[in-house]
Structure 1
């Protein structure tokens, strides 16, 4: 039952995040409540603690990136909802896979936008001349050169990967 709810929420969230760059409260907040109540009624107070710890871990993992402006509040709430449904261990490993997928997506987008040869030349120049400003290769102040993508896609890919292929105890 929980897996069906999780898959449904993930599908809805990836669609809305791609279409409108938003993960809707009308999806995430009821999912959090469902996870808490389902686990409470299924296994009692231990289930509520299981779900509550998952919620807090999911919330905590993306809270600092949210505060720094790297991701939106919907991404944080989606990860908290995953934790409320599946527990702290699952959401932690989901976060690890999400970060790997997010990094791969970001790398592909950077290479596509800036060109691999420009990145290699710029990195080589910075290393040879000890500029030690490697962050300028990726992060710039020019709004037109910034690269962003809906991070909900990475969250969904990481969570689906974990759900299908496992990899946590």
Structure 2
């Protein structure tokens, strides 16, 4: 049942993020609640902690990038919902795959816009002089709906079967 809920939330979030650049609360909050209730019923206090800590870790992993303007709140809540359903270890390990997928998508976007070299030079300049003065926010922002990376990375990590 948890896997069906997870896959449904991921599918809907993928579609809305691609079409509208939004991941809706009407998907993420009930998913979080289902995870908390399910694990509490099946595991008691330990089940609640399993789900609640997964929720906190999921939110915590993307909270700083959200505060820095790197992603939307829907992305943060979606990862929290994944954590509430699947627990701390799953959400943390899926996050590693999600980060790789997100990085690959970003590289493909930069290459397709023929801006990878320019972007790479700016990053090297920043690292050499340890200053962000030479980089404008527009230079760093080649936005794509990060929910796509979250969905693909989660599915890849779970072995497509959403174990």
Gaps of 5+ in 2: none
Larger Rg: 1
Give the TM-score taking structure 1 as reference length: 0.84
Alignment of 1:83-122 (within 5 A): 83-115=83-115, 119=117
Q: Is the 8 A contact 1:31 1:85 kept in 2?
A: yes
Correspondent of 1:152 among 132, 147, 151? 147
Q: Secondary structure at the match of 2:23?
A: coil
Alignment of 1:10-159 (within 5 A): 10-115=10-115, 119=117, 123=121, 132=128, 140-142=136-138, 146-159=141-154
User: 1:97 and 1:142, CA in 2 relative to 1: closer, same or farther beyond 3 A?
Assistant: closer
Gaps of 5+ in 1: none
Partners in 1 of 2:157 and 2:97 — Cα distance?
A: 7
Partners in 2 of 1:96 and 1:121 — Cα distance?
A: 23
User: 1:156 and 1:52, CA in 2 relative to 1: closer, same or farther beyond 3 A?
Assistant: same
Any runs of at least 4 consecutive aligned residues in structure 1 with deviations exceeding 6 A, and if so which? 133-136
